[in-house]
Amino acid sequence: MPSTVESCKLPASDFLQKGQRYRWPFLFRSCCPYRPLYFETTMNKILLTGAAGIVGKALRPLLAVKYPSILLTDLEPIRDCSPNENFHQGDIADLDFVKSAVDGVDGVVHLAAMVGHYDFHEVLGPNFVGTYNVYEAVRQMESKARIIYASSHHAVGFFERGEQHIDHTTAPRPDSFYGLSKAYGESLASMYADKYGVQTLSIRIGYVGENVPDERRMHTWISARDLAQLIEIGFCLPELHHEIVYGVSNVPDPFFDNSNATRLGYEPQDSSVEYLTDPALLHVQPEPHALIGGSFATSDV
């Protein structure tokens, strides 16, 4: 199936045939130390874990036009695969299943997780063990795949809004067991990069949805196509160890300094204010001492 690499600055008319080895220019902003640079990539097959989830469903059509072959995995069945998608049903808490899933892939987009107000035992298998299994399976590959790790802004959700400057160097301050699992995943990615050379872009994703339903999420929203752009950047970078960026589109009064994403070439195309369910949200004032993680921070779990 033809695949474009529009976000890597190739003309829209340049298509890639399945399995073709190709070279493209990856042009960054002037602040990027890699600009300009030509390099080869063979990102022909990728694995998308958690493909049946909200984020996975939003990303699938965008990834399907960029990558010649995509393997989808999830606990839930997927029956609407496109011609270049295949689906394997299974549990990422099973290392043997994950090892079979990563076999032959060039990249992994690791979304699979329990998202929400869950206790430790509920997130232990999918979020902690499952993420370890992804990294361990990639470590054992002869040619290690590059990983895009779906972290979350809930890894820093216990900071008070406006309390301090928050960027990619900010140490985690999770707001929940879910946020804790994402902070763990970032640390795991860092260790596997340092110790085993597994390359990762960790994206602290904000809110993914077709519309922006409340004032807090107006400051954390990201469109599917902006998230797909960050994934593309993670796969395209000629050199990568472990980097952390925030998965946020253009938003008013952002909670996070996302200059590291800008340095790597990120140019968000969408704005949260254009997707508000109610324009009055622009005038809503948060409660005093409101926390970035919202209800995740105030819930008992």
Q: Does residue 120 form part of some domain? A: yes
> 130-139 and 95-102 helices cross at what angle (nearest 10)?
50
Is position 135 annotated as part of the catalytic site?
A: no
Q: CA-CA distance, 270 to 171, in Å (whole number)?
A: 28
Give the pairing type, strands 85-89 and 207-208: unpaired
27 SS3 class? coil
How many domains, the chain?
A: 1
Residue 255: name the closest of 227, 212, 215, 283 by CA: 215
Q: Does residue 10 form part of some domain? A: no
What is the CATH classification number for the domain harbouring 78? Answer: 3.40.50.720
Chain centroid to Cα 90, Å, comes to 21
Q: CA-CA distance, 242 to 292, in Å (whole number)?
A: 24
Structural domain including 265 reads: 41-298
Sign of CA dihedral 167, 128, 224, 243: positive
Active-site position among 132, 135, 149, 178: 178
Q: Does residue 289 form part of some domain? A: yes
267 SS3 class? coil
pTM for this model (two decimals): 0.88
Q: CA-CA distance, 37 to 237, in Å (whole number)?
A: 10
Q: Does residue 127 form part of some domain? A: yes
Digit-by-digit pLDDT tens for the chain (301 residues) are 333 233 333 322 232 333 333 233 333 333 333 333 334 456 899 999 999 999 999 999 999 999 999 999 999 999 999 999 999 999 999 999 999 999 999 999 999 999 999 999 999 999 999 999 999 999 999 999 999 999 999 999 999 999 899 999 999 999 999 999 999 999 999 999 999 999 999 999 999 999 999 999 999 999 999 999 999 999 999 999 999 999 999 999 999 999 999 999 999 999 999 999 999 999 999 999 999 999 999 999 8
Q: Does residue 113 form part of some domain? A: yes
